[in-house]
A = this chain, B = another copy of it.
Amino acid sequence: MSGPEWLEAGRAWAEAALARALPAEDEEPVRLHAALRHALLGGGKRLRPALVRLVTLELGGEEPAAEPPAVALELVHTYSLVHDDLPAMDDDALRRGRPTVHVAFDEATAILTGDALLTLAFEVLAADEPLRAREHARVLARAAGSRGMVGGQVLDLSLEAGGARTRDAVEGMHAKKTAALFAAACEHGAIAAGRAAVRGAAAAYGRELGLLFQAVDDLLDVTGDAATLGKTPGKDAALERATLVAALGLEGARRRAEERAAALRMRANELGSGPGTALFELGQFVLERRA
């Protein structure tokens, strides 16, 4: 997904911040820290940290204030991928064209690498200014925990195991598994900008964006081509995963994504971002993404 200027700038900014946040390669235990680097520094769109930065700037804040929550959020996202790839979960051997952590190292190291990344996220937040540090930690813990992302993973597993794949069930799972972290990204931005009054509106924008992002993800698995996507499409259908396409069919899922993009523009308006701003145009960009 090559994209608008803020996304490219955010990606480069996030890469540098992430590299700084990790323990050095020669610090003991060397093998664990190598695994952390393998997991975190293997590419990725850095969409979530770029979003924290974008919302912070759009709401009048400064870039340095966005750094701790941006780094923490990407650490949480990355730990969830490491654990998700484990044999007992999705059992994936490749991630972004490179061996997953349990393949490159071993399963025990992958479990511990995820644990260390999650813990480091809260260590990074705790280095921020006290009031902000606490608010960021509260937002991130709620979004990532059993009522948020981890809860969404459990719902996903239960849908895969044969739960009823209604639209509500799939979207309820998406809301926790994907949209909770997007909502947190935007609320972090409001906190970093010192705009407590718009935290709720920012979270609502992020939630809508996350649902749109996941809907398009489900569509791309059917309509995408391997070269652009960087992974093999058709996997969701082959594994009978609980996707929006499984619930609504291809056309139904496409219409649903378009509705979400329209709703997202309204959410942008509520944040004071009209046509021409990055937050207003982001929905159309996500809708048209090919990878």
Contacts and interface: CB of A to CB of B under 8 A. Distances in A.
Interface of A: 23, 27-29, 31-33, 36, 79-80, 83, 86, 88-89, 106-109, 111-112, 114-116, 118-120, 122-123, 125-128, 130-131, 133-135, 137-138, 140-142, 144-147, 150-151, 153-155, 157-158
Contacts of A146: 23, 29, 32-33, 36, 116, 119-120
Contacts of A140: 122
A150 B32 contact: yes
A164 B155 CA distance: 44
Contacts of A150: 32, 112, 115-116, 119
Contacts of A108: 88-89, 157
Contacts of A27: 147
A76 to B, nearest CB: 8
Given A23-B147, A29-B146, A146-B23, A109 B154 contact: yes
A116 B145 contact: yes
Q: How many copies of this chain?
A: 2
Contacts of A138: 123, 126-127
Nearest to A139: B126
A119 B149 CA distance: 11
A158 to B, nearest CB: 7
Contact of A118 (B31, B119, B133): B119
Given A80-B115, A111-B111, A120-B146, 10 more contacts: A23-B146, A32-B151, A88-B108, A115-B118, A116-B151, A119-B141, A122-B140, A123-B137, A123-B141, A133-B134
Contact of A141 (B83, B120, B151): B120
A142 B114 CA distance: 15
Given A108-B157, A111-B89, A112-B154, A145 B125 contact: no
A152 to B, nearest CB: 9
A131 to B, nearest CB: 5
A115 B112 contact: no
A155 B29 contact: yes
B111 A123 contact: no
Contacts of A141: 119-120, 122-123, 126
A28 B175 CA distance: 13
Contacts of A142: 123
A141 B124 CA distance: 9
Nearest to A123: B141
Given A150-B116, A154-B32, A137 B111 contact: no
